[in-house]
Structure 1
Amino acid sequence: MGRFARTGAMVGALVLTASLALTGCGDDQKKAEFVGGNQPAGASAAPETTAGPTGSTPTAGAAAGPALQVSPADGAQKRPVSTEISAKIPGGGKVSEVVLTAAGGDKVEGLMRRDGSSWVPSSPLKYGTRYTATVTGTGTDGQTHQGSSTFTTMAKPKSMIGSGLYLFDGKTYGVAMPVVAEFSPGIPEKDRAAVQKRMFVRTDPPQPGAWHWLYNGTQAYYRAPEYWQPGTTITVRLALAGIPLSNGRYGNLDRTATAKIGRSFVMKVDNATKKMTVFEGGVLTRTLPVSLGKKSTPSSSGTMVVMEKKESTVFDTRDEPDPDNQYVTKIDFAQRLTWGGEYIHSAPWSEGVQGRRNVSHGCVNVSAANAKWLFERTLIGDPITVTGTERKLVPGNGWTAWSMSWSEFVKGSALPVPDGGAEPAF
């Protein structure tokens, strides 16, 4: 098994759809697939607040009270394009309507957070533009309060982070597909709570979830307590355009995607028996003999997901430090599980020992016929759990969001997570 490294280049302003590097068991290469996303995470559920671009209008004839205080303050300059609108009602109360217009009269769409803390524009504000916010609310005494503010956004900054979202719009994934956000350079720890508040995930049917940060802030995963329900729609928005960070950089752009979760297809591999059991829709449908990594190059124990599929490719491990692990081999039906080079793949050369002995360089070897059978049925995001090997899966070596308990996972959130997971922000 080769060393574990991640060398994918990050791109700031563009949405990349590059294929993942595929160089074989023990490789240490990676190329990212970057796309976009749209909705909540990280905020605890609170009573629904009815507000938006055309939110509830105050009751006709209601008594008028003192003006409420709008943020950003009137006359504010150089505000980030990630700015949200909030208001303080004298004596307390609830905002009922926010209207935001740009110079020239263009109206900005948006939604009030579920907890009522602020109103979030549905797309980034424009750089160097004047906006006017008019906010209406009802006080605890039943009086109507209104206030307005005119502010200007900052010019486009020169120093931005790169970001990526591993989710393709309109695609269908397996039940263990995490939402994976990536940043270059990583998000400083002191900024992660503010960034996480702008990383929105919504699921239909609703399933609470949480974010988990790793890699010194270069990656964050979002998942539910259990695998996604088959048929779920996941809508993601990483609303990071213009968000200021403590390292002097700003978020580069918003990324959005809506994807589907398909049927349940779960693979389990037990090193003790040298067999893979396959469950479709929760029912055991096939048992396959396997050969895992030999003692010098063991397979990783843990829950991984299929990240990439190649019907035919070449594994090239000539950069491995150990001459015994250097080879160039044509491989059929390769399914990547880790960045470090572990795959499920066809291995006709080991069919004689599959089910009895481990001889691979860390991959899950199956027969040519079984590799084809699996390849024709799996989706990106399908889970495989390997148990009983000499090596534990390293967090971040692949999409490892499911290789820890839910209680461990939520410890990686930058915001408090209610029992059972956070509800959407909207």
Structure 2
Amino acid sequence: MPTRRHLAAGGLASAVLLLAVSAGCGTVPDAQGSTGGASTPAGSSQPSNSSSPSPSATPTTPAVELSSNVDDGAKGVQVSTLVTAKASQGQLSKVAVDYTYTDTKGKAQEGTLKGSMNKAKTSWTAGDRLEPSGTYTMTVTGKNTAGDKSTQKTTFKTQQLALSDQVFPELYPLPGSKVGVGMPAVVRFDTPVTDRKSFEKNLHVTTVPKQTGSWHWYSNQEVHWRPKSYWKPGTKVSVEADVNGVPAGNGNYGQKSSKTNFTIGREFVMKVNLKSHYLTAYKDGKKVRSIPVTGGKPGWTTRSGTKLIMAKEYDKVMTNEQIGAEEEYSLKAAYAMRLTNSGEFLHSAPWSVGSQGRANVSHGCVGMSIADSRWLSEQTLIGDPVVTTGTNRGIEPGNGYSDWNASFKEYAKGSAL
């Protein structure tokens, strides 16, 4: 009996051990390494193998990514570059581009490059190109969707350019001018421009009221813009040569963008008939004066065509050396209005009063009495048309403001675009 009780006890212990081992083998650890049975309270409906993350496992928001089209530490960056900044995984908060450079007069300059941001605040573009031999520092700040800020700083240097490699524009008429209905917008460059397309893309004309027009290159250093027909009186014109940093060709670049604005005055047109020897002036389409004149004699024929008054001078001394004439003379014109680069004027000529209205006896200019020339000088504006007829000699393109001696279709062919 004792032996039998000992065996029963041993068998019971083995059964208990086996049950415990079986229970252990049937328990599956969850994602955190604990068993479902150990973590589930009694009476809970949650499955024992639940993988719900704990609060400490919440994912973080990615930082905003900032970038620029210029590398930090870059040297020799082309002045034609428009600096940009971009943000991904967030938005831009602020972009500041500070610079220092030495101008063409050897004076140190410093400032901040202005720019604009898109509506989404994911990109920023500079409003101007770069200056040569400059040091630029761009500081970009952005934030991610959670509002966490990041900052990136980029410093770079621009290419060096000799003064001879830089193209400076001059614009006419001068700001605030009132001019005649024929006056073109004129842009002149101190250095030849061979990449005309790049430059013309950055020449802008705005008119109020709007008038259709075109650019026309007379040379690599001069380009004009005229409307399809004479300007409407009262038109306000703004011209901008946004060429700073623009490639001009042959390793040259534009320097210093420039602007001008002018207003068109009343319509005043002069018609010179050198067969009848009279100049007739029209104001706003109405005849206001008829003036007897004399034109160029044989060998010195006055040019026919549409010319514009380029400048007004007083007590202008005219000599034979100025035009290469053999006969010697030195005469003073009290009132003189230049029409061509080659030396044609409307001017007072008291020495030829006897021929005025009868014959052509000048060296190419259109002469009249002092009284008539004074009146004409007082009435005219730079850019007023002088339409000359009656001779077989035409005006050469570019000899003065010759813009109106071609149809608009032909004129527009002079555009580089």
TM-score (norm 2): 0.68
Q: Partners of 1:224 and 1:149 in 2: how far apart?
A: 48
Q: Which residue of 1 aligns with 2:247?
A: 244
| Cα pair distance change 1:123/1:330, threshold 3 Å | farther
Secondary structure in structure 1 of the residue aligned to 2:215: strand
Q: Partners of 2:231 and 2:84 in 1: how far apart?
A: 34
Secondary structure in structure 1 of the residue aligned to 2:298: coil
Q: Which residue of 2 aligns with 1:309?
A: 312
* Amino acid of the structure 1 residue aligned with 2:178: T
1:76–1:150: 8 Å Cα contact kept in structure 2? no
**Deviation at 1:150?**
6.4
| Cα pair distance change 1:127/1:201, threshold 3 Å | farther
Q: Partners of 2:296 and 2:287 in 1: how far apart?
A: 25
More relative contact order in 1 or in 2 (CA 8 Å, sep 6+)? 1
* Amino acid of the structure 2 residue aligned with 1:393: I
Give the fraction of aligned pairs with identical amino acids, expressed as a percent.
37
**Deviation at 1:166?**
2.3
Q: 2:398 aligns with which of 379, 396, 399?
A: 396
Q: 1:230 aligns with which of 225, 229, 233?
A: 233
Q: Partners of 1:330 and 1:384 in 2: how far apart?
A: 22
1:276 aligns with 2:279: yes
- Counting only pairs closer than 5 Å after superposition, residues 124-143 of structure 1 correspond to structure 2 as 128-130=134-136
Which of structure 1's runs of 4+ aligned residues deviate more than 6 A?
67-76, 85-88, 97-100, 148-151
Q: Partners of 2:206 and 2:290 in 1: how far apart?
A: 36
Secondary structure in structure 1 of the residue aligned to 2:199: helix
**Deviation at 1:236?**
1.3
Q: Which residue of 1 aligns with 2:408?
A: 406
Secondary structure in structure 2 of the residue aligned to 1:407: helix
* Deviation string, structure 1 residues 73-102 (Cα, Å, up to 9, x no partner): 9987644445446899xxxxxxxx998641
- Counting only pairs closer than 5 Å after superposition, residues 6-405 of structure 1 correspond to structure 2 as 78-84=76-82, 101-103=96-98, 106=112, 108-109=114-115, 121=127, 128-130=134-136, 152=156, 154-158=158-162, 159-188=165-194, 191-215=195-219, 217-318=220-321, 320-324=323-327, 326-405=328-407
Q: Partners of 1:225 and 1:282 in 2: how far apart?
A: 19
* Deviation string, structure 1 residues 224-271 (Cα, Å, up to 9, x no partner): 101111111111111222222322222232221111111111111122
**Deviation at 1:103?**
3.4
Q: Partners of 1:174 and 1:111 in 2: how far apart?
A: 41
Q: Partners of 1:366 and 1:238 in 2: how far apart?
A: 40
CA RMSD in angstroms comes to 3.6
1:77–1:151: 8 Å Cα contact kept in structure 2? no
Q: Which runs of 5+ in 2 are unaligned?
A: 1-64, 87-91, 100-111, 119-123, 141-151
Q: Partners of 2:372 and 2:259 in 1: how far apart?
A: 37
* Deviation string, structure 1 residues 368-415 (Cα, Å, up to 9, x no partner): 111111001101111111112131101111011122111110010000
Q: Partners of 1:174 and 1:151 in 2: how far apart?
A: 50
For the pair shown, which has the larger CA radius of gyration, 1 or 2? 2
Secondary structure in structure 1 of the residue aligned to 2:351: helix
2:295–2:301: 8 Å Cα contact kept in structure 1? yes
Q: Partners of 2:301 and 2:316 in 1: how far apart?
A: 22
**Deviation at 1:343?**
0.3
2:79–2:129: 8 Å Cα contact kept in structure 1? no
**Deviation at 1:70?**
8.0
